[in-house]
Structure 1
Amino acid sequence: MYGALLGDLIGSPWEFNRIKHEQFELFSPACGYTDDSIMTAAVADALLHDTDPASAMRAWAQRYKPQRGGYGAIFWVWLNNPDDEPYGSAGNGGAMRVSPAAMLGTTLEQVLQLATQVTVVTHDDPIGLNAALATAHAIWLARQQASPAQIRDALEQCYGYDLSRPYEQVQRECRHSELALPSVPEALTCALLSTSFEDCMRKVVALGGDSDTQCAIAGPVAEMLWGIPADYLAELRARVPAAMLEVIDGLYVGGGLRTG
């Protein structure tokens, strides 16, 4: 989804230069796509063409190198060993790449089935899988025009997340973590407290956490809630490879695009 790729771009300068304020340039020369965008495109490719998600991830990793950062060490080993089984990850990587499942599923049941299919190839730990399902669920509900309060209630009931903390508390308590807990509930909280796509991005970066991945998680929810400004989409198309965008464009066929 565009919101995931934009979140990745916007958050990328701040992953290792963490800030606790919202006064930053959204699209600076330091912005670049990371493994989050590459793997989101891989998942979209697999689901659009009904192919094996693990094979798609490995093919896309060979095709593109992240402009910022790299692949996690354990994930990189998995990518380079085609016979490797899932490695029990409880990280946030499943959640950051799951948004295509929420776009392509026609029912919540199908969304969660697709999300499971693309997640368990690596993140078969219940915490990691739960985070991906919660993210896909949130995006789906926002697509159905559920309110932030309705989404919050559903996620708290289904996944046991506490999404009711005020932003100031979440920001104060946030520390950089690539684990699904606490990083995914933090990102979803920002999306549900936001008033626009830009506001969501600024809130996530100002957490001072795993900014690119958390923005990639929150971005699709904010996109479905508020839409994306046309000039943001122009920035995305100027900064991300055309082949990657072509795959992501396929998620929107017949579904339209809401612009903010």
Structure 2
Amino acid sequence: MLGAIIGDVVGSIYEFDNIRTKDFPFFQTRMECTDDSILTFATAEWILRGGDVADFYCAYAMNYPCPMGSYGGMFQQWVVEKARGGAALPYNSCGNGSAMRVAPVGWAFDTEEEVMTWAEKSAVCTHNHPEGVKGAQATAMAILWARQGVSAVDIEGRITQRFSYDLTMAVEELQQRYSWRGIDGKGNGGICQDSVPQAIICALKAKNFEDAVRNAVSIGGDSDTIGCIAGGIAEALYGVSENMRHKAMNYIPLEFQKILREFEQRYGANVV
């Protein structure tokens, strides 16, 4: 789970100031947790405590209302409606918010059926569009398979077969062709189908955890979210070093650190 938070933090300052290089200082003072991390911790606490995941997403958004990068507009409206006691119905979103917050599911459950079910539960309270659900499920399944020792090459094949994502593009090609407007300006980098495959590529084609996050930042687009998704998968694949873990804690509020420790004690982490 920590890998997702690191990916979010490192990408936080590049979301609206994209870069096209992997050569940048990894941790910088102006970086911080964004809405991606906040809602990832909400997912983790939901798994730890039980109950309705929508209640956790609403409570976290109310308690941390102004993160770097802000929440999506439709999500903010949903939070206001729910906080007022309204119906707060899902809004058919295929936005990548469903995938950015799902990493804890990939760590907490050990069967494909459980991961698919809980990833869907984490998504549908807001992102009930089929692509929104698929983005969460694909991300969580990649984490599960990596935890189980499946190689990056085999994960690529499984994701392609099960979710029909095209993972053939190299990171270097994405650096040239990808942006907030998708591949070659023909998409939308804020939706699952135009950002989750790219984030998965960044993780699977990396040399190690840090390289995966650098890949994610270097392709542009929604940098914090792509970093969050790629980082969550990359932790399971490669592990996070003790040194990097120590540095990352400087960016995580103490109340979130407590949740992280409790979650990792129960469900594990990949420290190398």
Shorter-normalised TM range: over 0.9
1:168 aligns with 2:180: no
Query: Which residue in the other structure is 1:115 paired with?
Result: 119
Measure how far apart 1:254 and its partner are.
4.6
Query: Residues 197-208 of structure 1: matches in 2 within 5 Å?
Result: 197-208=209-220
Q: Which residue of 2 aligns with 1:32?
A: 32
Tell whether the 8 Å contact from 1:190 to 1:203 is kept in structure 2 after alignment: yes
Q: Distance in 1 between matches of 2:14 and 2:194?
A: 18
Contact kept, 8 Å, 1:131 with 1:180, in 2: the verdict is yes
Amino acid at match of 2:33: Y
* Residue 233 of structure 2 is aligned to residue 221 of structure 1: yes
> What is the letter of the counterpart of residue 63 of structure 2?
R
**Equivalence map 1:74-223=2 (5 Å):** 74-82=74-82, 83-176=87-180, 177-223=189-235
1:194-240: CA deviation from partner (whole Å, max 9, x where unpaired):
01111011111000111000000010111011110212211222221
Pair 1:235 & 2:247 matched: yes
TM-superposed deviation, 1:65: 3.7
Q: Determine the structure 2 residue equivalent to 1:253.
A: 265
Contact 1:103 1:251 (8 Å CA) reproduced: no
Secondary structure of residue in 2 paired with 1:69: coil
Q: CA deviation at 1:129?
A: 0.8
Amino acid at match of 2:88: D
- In the aligned structure 2, how far is the partner of 1:212 from the partner of 1:190? 13
RMSD of aligned alpha carbons: 1.2
Shift of the 121–21 alpha-carbon distance from structure 1 to 2, 3 Å rule, reads: same
Q: What corresponds to 2:12 in structure 1? A: 12
Structure 2 SS opposite 1:20: coil
Give the deviation of 1:66 after TM superposition: 4.5
Distance 1:162 1:67 in 2: 32
Q: How far did 1:256 drift?
A: 4.0
Give 2:183's aligned residue. Answer: none
Q: Which moved more, 1:248-257 or 1:20-29?
A: 248-257
Contact (CA 8 Å) 1:38, 1:66: kept in 2 or not?
Answer: no
Give the letter aligned to residue 247 of structure 1. I
Superposition deviation, residue 253 in structure 1: 1.9
2:71 alignment partner in structure 1? 71
Report SS of the residue matched to 2:117: helix
Post-superposition Cα deviations, 1:101-160, rounded to whole Å, max 9, x if no partner, equal 111112111011111111100111011111110000100000001000110000000000
- Distance in 1 separating the partners of 2:115 and 2:254: 27
CA separation of 1:75 and 1:135: change in aligned 2, threshold 3 A: same
Deviation at 1:67, TM superposition (A): 4.1
Counterpart CA distance in 2 for 1:159 and 1:251 is 28
Partner of 1:2: 2
- Please give the secondary structure, in 2, of the residue aligned with 1:257: coil
TM-score of the aligned structures, taking structure 2 as reference length? 0.92
Structure 2 letter corresponding to 1:130:
K
Q: Give identity over the alignment, percent.
A: 37
In 1, the alpha carbon distance for the partners of 2:266 and 2:52 equals 24
Structure 2: distance between partners of 1:158 and 1:250: 32
Deviation at 1:259, TM superposition (A): 2.2
Distance in 1 between the 2:267 and 2:51 partners?
22
